[in-house]
């Protein structure tokens, strides 16, 4: 599979900038996944310099600092308003630096960090081989990459419901375990370990799900999206199709999470 997924990066930046104020209230899945990521997969020492890619409002950065309070941290996000939220939470900590930058163009020196971590952020990058190659460059010898990302089964119910309406792509696309493995190998990583876990969230209504996705900035950022305002008829057709999935009175939504660890191959 091609490592370049066509994504509207300006749309990504705008979506997450707009979601900064509502993100913490709605991002329960992101917190759950972030905790599993660092509790089950991470081994971080007090001397490690850690780069948090896609820090959002700072949840993962805070949790990492709870493990090792004085470790040097770098919190990076493409949305300036997210970086500001993280900084406001963590001030006056002097061991944390803040960067507003794109993960595809990290403004750091080669071999300058010990660990790169990222929680549910890399799915918004276009060229994953370039991203992983950049991570490899900034990591020191024996450095570790640790991240979670969405897999292709994510929001499968929503995808199917929209397919009853038209041929536009209404839900973002995500890479498989095999594709991620290939991209990491191409970027020069070794000892690659991947685990796929499906989470299921429940909602009272389909509109509640849609509001949550908007509130955490998870907009459709693919170029094949329908750029026109969705009509009431189309929305109702999608909702009616989704209702067929209702279980025990609730609307289910599947999220496939892929957990990944890899090491520098130097």
The pLDDT score that the predictor gives to residue 168 is 83
pLDDT 10s digits, 122-169: 998 888 989 999 999 999 999 999 999 999 999 999 999 999 998 888
Residue 222, pLDDT > 50, answer: no
Query: Does residue 221 form part of some domain?
Result: no
Q: How far apart are CA 61 and CA 95, in angstroms?
A: 12
pLDDT 10s digits, 52-78: 999 999 999 999 999 888 889 999 999
pLDDT 10s digits, 100-129: 999 999 999 999 999 999 999 999 888 898
Query: Does residue 82 form part of some domain?
Result: yes
Range from 12-16, 129-133, 252-256 carrying the lowest mean pLDDT = 12-16
Query: Does residue 2 form part of some domain?
Result: no
Q: How far apart are CA 195 and CA 215, in angstroms?
A: 28
Confidence of residue 45 (pLDDT cuts 50, 70, 90): confident
Higher pLDDT pick, 222 / 154: 154
Can you give the residue range of the structural domain that contains 82? Answer: 9-149+175-201+255-264
CATH of the domain at 65: 3.40.50.150
Confidence of residue 1 (pLDDT cuts 50, 70, 90): low
Average pLDDT of span 87-93: 91
- Judged by phi (left if over 0) then psi (alpha if -120 to 50, else beta), residue 142 lies in left
Neighbours of 204 (CB within 10 A): 10
Contact 188/136 with Cβ under 8 angstroms?
yes
Query: Does residue 54 form part of some domain?
Result: yes
Query: For residue 168, what are the CA distances in angstroms to 93, 164, 171, 235, 241?
Result: 46, 11, 9, 13, 16
Instruction: Give the containing element (helix H, strand E) for 12.
Output: helix 9-18
Q: Which of 173, 174, 195, 176 is nearest to 262 (CA)?
A: 195
The pLDDT score that the predictor gives to residue 58 is 95
Query: Does residue 61 form part of some domain?
Result: yes
Query: Does residue 237 form part of some domain?
Result: no
Q: What is the mean pLDDT of the chain?
A: 88
Backbone φ and ψ of 240, nearest 5°: -60, -40
The pLDDT score that the predictor gives to residue 76 is 98
**Tally of structural domains, the chain:** 1
The pLDDT score that the predictor gives to residue 241 is 96
pTM of the model: 0.89
| Paired residues of 255 in beta bridges | 199
Residue 44, pLDDT > 60, answer: yes
Higher pLDDT pick, 103 / 22: 103
The pLDDT score that the predictor gives to residue 170 is 77
Residue 6, pLDDT > 70, answer: no
Query: Does residue 77 form part of some domain?
Result: yes
């Amino acid at each position: 599979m091609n490592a370049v997924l066509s994504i509207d990066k300006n749309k990504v930046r705008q979506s997450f900038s707009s979601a900064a104020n509502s993100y913490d209230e709605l991002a329960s899945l992101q917190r759950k996944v972030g905790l599993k990521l660092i509790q089950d997969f991470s081994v971080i020492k007090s001397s490690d310099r850690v780069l948090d890619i896609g820090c959002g409002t700072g949840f993962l950065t805070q949790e990492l600092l709870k493990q090792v309070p004085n470790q040097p941290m770098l919190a990076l996000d493409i949305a300036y308003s997210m970086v500001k939220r993280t900084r406001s939470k963590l001030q006056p900590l002097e061991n944390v630096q803040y960067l507003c930058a794109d993960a595809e163009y990290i403004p750091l020196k080669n071999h300058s960090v010990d660990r790169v971590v990222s929680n549910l952020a890399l799915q918004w990058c276009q060229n994953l081989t370039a991203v992983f190659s950049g991570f490899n460059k900034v990591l020191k010898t024996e450095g570790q990459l640790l991240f979670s990302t969405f897999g292709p089964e994510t929001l499968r119910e929503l995808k199917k419901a929209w397919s009853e309406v038209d041929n536009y792509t209404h839900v973002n696309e995500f890479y498989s375990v095999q594709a991620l493995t290939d991209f990491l190998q191409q970027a020069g990583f070794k000892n690659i370990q991947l685990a796929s876990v499906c989470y299921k969230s429940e909602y009272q209504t389909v509109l509640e799900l849609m509001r949550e996705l908007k509130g955490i900035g998870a907009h459709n950022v693919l170029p094949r999206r329908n750029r026109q305002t969705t009509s009431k008829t189309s929305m109702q057709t999608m909702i009616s199709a989704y209702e067929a999935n209702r279980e025990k009175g609730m609307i289910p939504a599947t999220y496939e999470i892929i957990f990944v660890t890899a090491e520098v191959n130097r």
